[in-house]
Amino acid sequence: MNKTDNLKFVKNFSEEELIEYFSSINEKPYRAKQLYDWLYVKESLDFDEMLNFSKSLREHLKDNFEITTVKQKEVQHSSSGTKKLLLETYDNKFIESVIIPDGERVTLCLSTQVGCPLDCKFCATGLMGYKRNLTPGEIVDQYIHSKSIGSKITNIVYMGMGEPLLNFKNTLESLRIFTDTRLETLSRNRITVSTSGITPKIIELADSGLRVQLALSLHSTFEDIRSKIMPINVKYDLKSVLIAVEYYLKMTDTKITYEYTMLKDLNDRDEDIKSLTKLCKRMPSKINIIPFNSIKHMSPGGLSAELEPTSRNKLMLFADKLRNNGITVMVRETQGDDIAAACGQLAVKSL
């Protein structure tokens, strides 16, 4: 067998698939659980450590499988303490994960796709285009690599490269691993999936029973403006997305976080405050205001080239006005700007 065949990465098998595999080689089904424990509870990187397997089974696994799906190529450190991990996949694609410390909290921002097909006008990943979905193993290994460089991760956000709900099956599989109570990785309250708004998949995620936190990249409450900056809004308009979000909250008993990247004259006007206030009162929610990180280094054309950040003063005033209206507002500090690890700056030039 060719070991570079993607199927031979053991972390790309679900526990059910491992059971099937072990029975195909005349091994007992409980071996699957043992292997799962080695991979995800003990985070073992070496079949030789798995001493509750016979020597011949260890040899068989070594001959047929790889444990690590991605290779660590580089770790960049920002002055703010943020670290960016550059990882290479078996087919020489590069992905990035960002580790953001903030007091006691250390958040890992994970990627789910190489690039992204959705072409949001303010996003470097969008400008890079779409290459492929990441496998469940490639998603989970970003966490395992982050820990291996000494980071104690307390929160995971699916806000790196790609649209998690367009890689639904693999995102779900990775969430199942992270929320598996046997692993004691993180509670579901500390895991957030961010989406640009894929209506049918929000409903499927609600029905999955995983009950993780959901964030919606809102950026405008007006359909026409949202469609201009986020072309996906033409297919799934905000009206339909919000109905799906309402269903999600009902099924999971969670709050929605609206992400709102501030763009000068596009979504920072008084009418935006009025409309956002109305929207936030509709269901339990909070707003995460994000300063727009420049994407000029990508030399974009069209609308992307014209986008400017809202000034800091105006952004703070916008947040205060919302707070005065009774809305919960967080302002995200731009982190890791100096290493292009801030939101929407994840794009690997060498692709």
According to CB under 6 A, which one of 100, 109, 110, 118 is a site residue for ligand SF4? 118
66 is catalytic: no
Q: Which of 109, 120, 280, 343 is catalytic?
A: 343
**Closer to ligand SAH at the Cβ: 82 or 195?**
195
- Kindly provide the residue ranges of all beta strands, DSSP E only, lying in 21-135, ordered along the sequence: 70-77, 83-89, 94-102, 105-109, 113-115, 130-133
Distance CA 238, CA 243 (A): 9
According to CB under 6 A, which one of 39, 126, 138, 304 is a site residue for ligand SF4? 126
> Tell me, what DSSP letter sits at residue 134?
P
Distance CA 31, CA 148 (A): 26
Which residues are 286's β-sheet partners? 257
Which helix (H) or strand (E) covers residue 338, if one does?
A: none
Residue 195 engages ligand SAH in binding (rule: CB under 6 A):
yes
Residue 108 engages ligand SAH in binding (rule: CB under 6 A):
no
Residues 278-307 that bind ligand SAH (CB under 6 A): 290, 292-293, 295
Distance CA 111, CA 142 (A): 8
295 interacts with, out of ligand SF4, ligand SAH, none, CB within 5 to 8 A per kind: ligand SAH
39 interacts with, out of ligand SAH, ligand SF4, none, CB within 5 to 8 A per kind: none
DSSP string for 2-17: -TTSGGGBGGGS-HHH
Distance CA 155, CA 100 (A): 10
Residue 123 engages ligand SF4 in binding (rule: CB under 6 A):
yes
Angle at 330 between CA 326 and CA 336, to 5 degrees: 170
280 is catalytic: no
**Closer to ligand SF4 at the Cβ: 66 or 96?**
96
Residues 205-224 that bind ligand SF4 (CB under 6 A): 217
**Which is nearest to 100 in space by CA: 121, 129, 76?**
76
Closest approach of ligand SAH to the CB of residue 344, in Å: 2
Closest approach of ligand SAH to the CB of residue 96, in Å: 12
Distance CA 221, CA 39 (A): 43
> CB nearest ligand SF4: which residue?
126
237 interacts with, out of ligand SAH, ligand SF4, none, CB within 5 to 8 A per kind: none
According to CB under 6 A, which one of 12, 125, 171, 174 is a site residue for ligand SF4? 125
Question: How far, CA to CA in Å, does 232 sit from each of 141, 195, 198, 227, 247?
Answer: 29, 11, 8, 7, 20
Taking CB under 6 A as the binding criterion, the range among 38-46, 49-57, 112-120, 334-342 that sits at the site for ligand SF4 is 112-120
**Which is nearest to 40 in space by CA: 83, 85, 10?**
10
According to CB under 6 A, which one of 27, 96, 141, 163 is a site residue for ligand SF4? 163
Quote the crossing angle between the two packed helices 168-178 and 199-207, to the nearest 10°: 30
Residue 171 engages ligand SF4 in binding (rule: CB under 6 A):
no
Q: Structure tokens of 19?
A: 């059971």
Residue 53 engages ligand SAH in binding (rule: CB under 6 A):
no
Taking CB under 6 A as the binding criterion, the range among 29-37, 38-46, 190-198, 315-323 that sits at the site for ligand SAH is 190-198
Contacts to ligand SF4 by CB under 6 A: 116, 118-120, 123, 125-126, 162-163, 196, 217
Q: Provide the annotated active-site residues.
A: 96, 343
Binding residues for ligand SAH (CB under 6 A): 122-123, 159, 163, 194-196, 217, 259, 261, 290, 292-293, 295, 343-344
